Amino acid sequence: MEKNKSTPDTTNSKKRTRKVRQLKPKPEPKFTNDDIEDFHFREDEIDDIRTSLLNWYDANQRDLPWRRINETHDEIDTKAYAVWVSEIMLQQTRVQTVINYFNRWIDKWPTVHHLAQASVEEVNEMWAGLGYYRRARFLLEGAKMVIEEGGKFPRSVSDLRRVKGIGEYTAGAIASIAFKEAVPVVDGNVIRVIARLKTISANPKDKATIKNIWRLAGQLVDSHRPGDFNQAVMELGATLCTPLNPNCSSCPVSTQCSALLKTKNDSSALVTDYPTKVAKVKQRHDYSAVAVVEILESEQPTVNTSDSGSKFLLVKRPEEGLLAGLWEFPSVSLNGKTDLVTRRRAVDDFLKKSFGLNFHRSSDIVSRDEVGEYVHIFTHIRLKMYIELLVLRSQDLHRKKDKGLMPFKYVDAKTLETMGLSTGVRKAYNMVQKFRQSKSSLIST
């Protein structure tokens, strides 16, 4: 099915005479959200979909660690906590990536009580590499709220929504999976499955469309096994009813799928026509100069300066915004592509203003090398980083952190390698290590 068509523009039409009324083309019919409001599942459809999906799920569900938590009365809060952590981690992240993070997280903080005692820095380090770091802070803040209000998880969607960082989807997942409340959950997988079941071609990003998908999902949810049913729909979308290559021959609800039926009656129709494809937001292109600043404590530097008792300068990002609260190498935002001289001048100004480092007074430059470039992709940002290694000799290593200056610290190579760093920072450090190894090999030959 084609994307929604808009009414043709007639603003430039001209009247033939003053007595003749301007004629406007008749708008072509288009799909509207009013049409979705008329959609519903028949009782017989609901029964068939529930039975088919649950039987399929029982036989084919993936073995995931958060699904292994027992559901006994004594451990119901542990179950709710595991669902909460897993669902937050799974937002914008692949299941296979989440598994290891989830296991490490639960090993360190097995209950909400344990998590509530953690620090923001500990949580950020455990989360490093998962991206969307605000999710981790919300988990910590939410855990503190739960403990402050008695230590028991809220049992209903309405009460769960009051916890910091728990939105409509996460509340529905926890309430249905852990507490058996017959409420739906809607994510991208659920939208796709229902859009195909009912041949809904409205914009899946539109608020009205999403609202109606929630209504339809609410009709389907099984009152006896709401958690399993919700997971079954999501599992179907993740494994069979995929965006580009749906496996309709193995789908347990193929006989109820209107999109599949339409393909049998119309050779030009495709199951993947549903839901409507939406143009992606254009990525913003950003640029930054990253200085891996290594400060020597030894008077006699070696080629491998890490052997000389050196330390690396790390700075802490602001507590709000992108990668909030994380430690990174000093970096400077650039106005587009710039040459090496301009980048180094920007880095020098930044280090002097932010940390009081003055290369002509307290520090001597031992070496300064351009390491390379790395492109790091965020959701809507393509960040190109120009990375350099700046080795300094300084007698000012332990100076006081003056009020108003950016928080910073010095760490040795061993500590740096074990810290929870963002993917971009870790990549910059690895590039420096490879550069150093290459330089050492050239000198030895």
Active site residues: 87
201 burial class (0-12, 13-18, 19+ CB within 10 angstroms)?
Answer: buried
For the four alpha carbons of 286, 380, 165 and 96, in that order, the dihedral sign comes to negative
Q: How far apart are CA 346 and CA 289, in angstroms?
A: 8
Q: Which helix (H) or strand (E) holds 123?
A: helix 120-127
Place of tokens 């470039």: 373
- What would you report as the CA-atom Rg of the chain, rounded to the nearest whole angstrom? 28
CB 134 within 8 Å of CB 158: no
Phi, psi (degrees; rounded to nearest 5) at 245: -130, 65
How far CA 193 is from CA of 30, 58, 272, in Å, comes to: 22, 19, 11
3-state secondary structure (DSSP) of residue 99: helix
Beta strand 381-394 with 284-296 is parallel
- For residue 299 the two structure tokens come to 């008077």
368 burial class (0-12, 13-18, 19+ CB within 10 angstroms)?
Answer: middle
3-state secondary structure (DSSP) of residue 311: strand
3-state secondary structure (DSSP) of residue 370: strand
Which residues does 31 contact at the CB level (< 8 Å), separation at least 6?
Answer: 1, 4, 201, 202
Task: State the DSSP code for 322.
Answer: T
Report H helices in 151-272. 157-160, 168-177, 188-197, 207-220, 226-239, 258-265
Beta strand 381-394 with 311-316 is unpaired
Task: With CA atoms as reference, report the closest residue to 327 among 431, 438, 420.
Answer: 420
- For residue 5 the two structure tokens come to 């068509």
Beta strand 327-328 with 331-334 is unpaired
Q: How far apart are CA 302 and CA 308, in angstroms?
A: 7
- For residue 277 the two structure tokens come to 């494809």
